[in-house]
């Protein structure tokens, strides 16, 4: 900690608070008032992995995420108003209302987007990394996924490919112990998840995902190494989702006590706050000021998003194809 500069820590702190308050808004306001559709997958409890990883990357590195990607998007600097507007289904949403909570993306920030098809983003990450290599760039690609995704064919093919072709993909496994209801012990034949990398010739690491500094230092080191010698890296961060799989999950597969006692005690935001106060990086009063300020920022983004217009239903027909001679062929389905 002592080595780290205070401004950086405070920046992490702010971003983790943004994620926390953003998602609490979804849980506490948008859910009861039915302001979004489908389901929303909250990453409360996992903020340190998003913030530590993304901040250890360069702005031109690509990030590709999962259904649980609000945190990655915010850490990437996405505009919270555009994110809220998207989840509300408004025209001003980052995807013009076409994507919703599971499909946030922002090309301008190299946030390729959330991809809720589990495992599917790993091969895409390889393609993004291949592009960087072909261009002679030292850009990296971070691919986030849960421990459940390790069992997909897509991940396994991508891991081999990345190693075979020395593609600079940072495979970031957010091990939150559950894939919907299935605990990791019932989905993975080996529990040393980092060792799954060995069979592909990848180097594997495993660290705490609750300590943002540990995440940051780990990824920073790996990124430096990957830029110097392009090759994929696999890192497992142990973390926990405080909420259900999605907003409607009753969590019949785990007990409330387990959640609260074991894991809330390791709340990544509290851990950082405590560390910063102990270190005199910040005073208790200042943490309160930070919280108030960030909460207001989130409130204002939400209030503005609520004012945003709805799309015209016919906008559904736009944007299927890039403009070109065939664009007119996008029929209306009228036969």
Partner 1 sequence: MAEPRMRDITMAQAIRTALREEMKRDEKVILFGEDVAQYGGVYGATTGLQKEFGADRVRDTPISEMAIAGMAVGAALAGWRPVAEIMYCDFLAHAADAIVNNAAKWRYMSGGQFKVPLVVRSPAGGGAGYAAQHSQNLEAWFCHIPGLKVVMPGVPRDARGLLKAAIRDDNPVVFLEHKAHYTYKGLVPAEEEVLPLGVAEIKRQGTDVTLVAWSKTLTFALEAVEVLAEKGISVELLDPRTLQPLDVDTLCNSVAKTGHLAIAHEAVTFAGFGAEIVAQVTEHAWDSLKRPPLRIGAPFVPLPYSQPMESFVIPQVADIVQGIEGLLDGTRTGAR
Ligand X SMILES: Cc1ncc(C[n+]2csc(CCOP(=O)(O)OP(=O)(O)O)c2C)c(N)n1
Q: Which residues pair with 171 in a beta bridge?
A: 143, 234
Based on CB atoms, which residue is closest to ligand X, 111 or 302?
111
Cβ contacts of 326 within 8 Å, gap of 6 or more:
none
**C-alpha–C-alpha distance, residues 100 and 192, integer Å:** 35
Query: Which residue of 42, 102, 210, 226 would you call a contact of partner 1, by CB under 8 A?
Result: 102
The first and second tokens of residue 185, run together, are 């012990």
Can you tell me the distance from the alpha carbon of 132 to that of 124, in angstroms, rounded to the nearest whole number?
Answer: 13
Backbone phi and psi for residue 206, each to the nearest 5 degrees, phi listed first: -140, 130
Report the partner that residue 313 touches, choosing among partner 1, ligand X, none (CB closer than 5 to 8 A by kind). partner 1
Burial level of 96, CB count in 10 A (0-12/13-18/19+)?
middle
- Minimum distance between the CB of residue 244 and partner 1, rounded to whole angstroms? 11
Query: Would you count residue 148 as binding partner 1 (CB under 8 A)?
Result: yes
Distances (CA, A) of 99 to 12, 72, 91: 28, 16, 11
Residue 265 in contact with partner 1, rule: CB under 8 A: no
State how far the Cα of 173 lies from the Cα of 235, in Å rounded to an integer: 6
Q: By CB under 8 A, is residue 33 in contact with partner 1?
A: no
171 touching ligand X, by CB under 6 A: no
Which residues face 206 on adjacent strands? Answer: 236
Q: Which two tokens stand for residue 326?
A: 């065939």
Beta carbon of residue 23, minimum distance to ligand X (angstroms, whole number): 13
Q: Binding of ligand X at residue 155 (CB under 6 A)?
A: no
The residue within the footprint of partner 1, chosen from 54, 80, 122, 179 (CB under 8 A), is 179
What whole-number distance in Å separates Cα of residue 313 and Cα of residue 222? 46
Query: Judged by CB under 8 A, which of 14, 24, 99, 160 binds partner 1?
Result: 99
Site string for partner 1, 227-256 (x = CB under 8 A): -------------------------xx---
Closest separation in Å from C-beta 241 to ligand X:
6
Task: Please name the residue that has the structure tokens 């019949």.
Answer: 252
Distance CA 91, CA 82 (A): 9
Q: Which of 28, 110, 7 is nearest to 298 (CA)?
A: 28
Determine, following the binding rule CB under 8 A, whether residue 126 of this chain makes contact with partner 1. no
Instruction: For tokens 């989840």, name the residue.
Output: 87
User: Which residue from 108, 187, 199, 255 is in contact with partner 1, where contact means CB under 8 A?
Assistant: 187
We find the least distance from the C-beta atom of residue 273 to partner 1, in angstroms, to be: 35
Considering only 180, 191, 289, 316, the residue that binds ligand X (CB under 6 A) is 180
Q: Does 148 bind ligand X (CB under 6 A)?
A: yes
Q: Residue 111 CB, nearest distance to partner 1 (Å)?
A: 17
Distance, CA of 303 to chain centre: 24
The smaller minimum CB distance to partner 1, of residues 14 and 157, is found at: 157
Region for 111 from its dihedrals, namely left if φ exceeds 0, alpha if ψ lies in -120 to 50, beta otherwise: beta
Of all helices (H) and strands (E), which one includes residue 236? strand 233-238
Residue 282 C-beta: closest distance to ligand X, Å: 30
The reply to whether 97 sits near partner 1 by the rule CB under 8 A is yes
Query: Which residues of this chain interact with partner 1, rule CB under 8 A?
Result: 36-39, 86, 89-90, 93, 95, 97-100, 102-103, 116-119, 148-149, 151-154, 179-182, 186-188, 252-253, 310-317, 320, 330-335
Query: Which residues of this chain interact with ligand X, rule CB under 6 A?
Result: 66-68, 116-119, 145-149, 174, 176, 178-180, 245
């Amino acid at each position: 900690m002592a080595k780290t500069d205070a401004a950086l820590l405070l920046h992490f702190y702010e971003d983790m608070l943004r994620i926390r308050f953003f998602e609490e808004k979804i849980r506490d306001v948008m859910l009861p008032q039915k302001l979004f559709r489908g389901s929303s997958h909250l990453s409360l409890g996992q903020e340190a992995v998003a913030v530590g990883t993304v901040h250890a990357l360069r702005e031109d590195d690509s990030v590709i995420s999962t259904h649980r990607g609000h945190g990655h998007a915010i850490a990437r600097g996405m505009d919270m108003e555009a994110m809220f507007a998207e989840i509300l289904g408004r025209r001003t949403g980052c995807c013009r209302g076409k994507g919703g909570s599971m499909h946030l993306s922002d090309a301008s920030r190299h946030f390729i987007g959330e991809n809720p098809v589990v495992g599917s983003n790993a091969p895409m990450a390889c393609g993004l990394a291949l592009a960087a290599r072909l261009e002679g760039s030292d850009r990296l690609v971070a691919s986030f996924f849960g421990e459940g995704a390790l069992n997909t064919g897509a991940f396994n093919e991508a891991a081999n490919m990345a190693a075979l072709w020395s593609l600079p993909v940072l495979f970031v496994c957010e091990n939150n112990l559950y894939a919907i209801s299935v605990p990791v012990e019932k989905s993975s034949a080996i529990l040393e998840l980092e060792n799954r990398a060995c069979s592909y010739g990848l180097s594997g690491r495993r660290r705490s995902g609750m300590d943002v500094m540990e995440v940051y230092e780990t990824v920073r080191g790996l990124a430096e190494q990957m830029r110097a010698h392009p090759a994929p890296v696999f890192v497992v961060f142990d973390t926990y989702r405080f909420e259900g799989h999605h907003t409607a999950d009753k969590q019949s597969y785990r007990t409330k006590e387990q959640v609260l006692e074991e894991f809330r005690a390791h709340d990544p935001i509290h851990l950082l706050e405590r560390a910063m106060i102990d270190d005199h990086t910040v005073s208790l009063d200042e943490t309160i000021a930070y919280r108030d300020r960030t909460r207001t920022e989130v409130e204002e983004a939400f209030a503005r998003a609520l004012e945003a217009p709805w799309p015209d239903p016919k906008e559904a027909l736009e944007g299927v194809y890039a403009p070109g001679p065939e664009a007119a062929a996008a029929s209306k389905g009228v036969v």
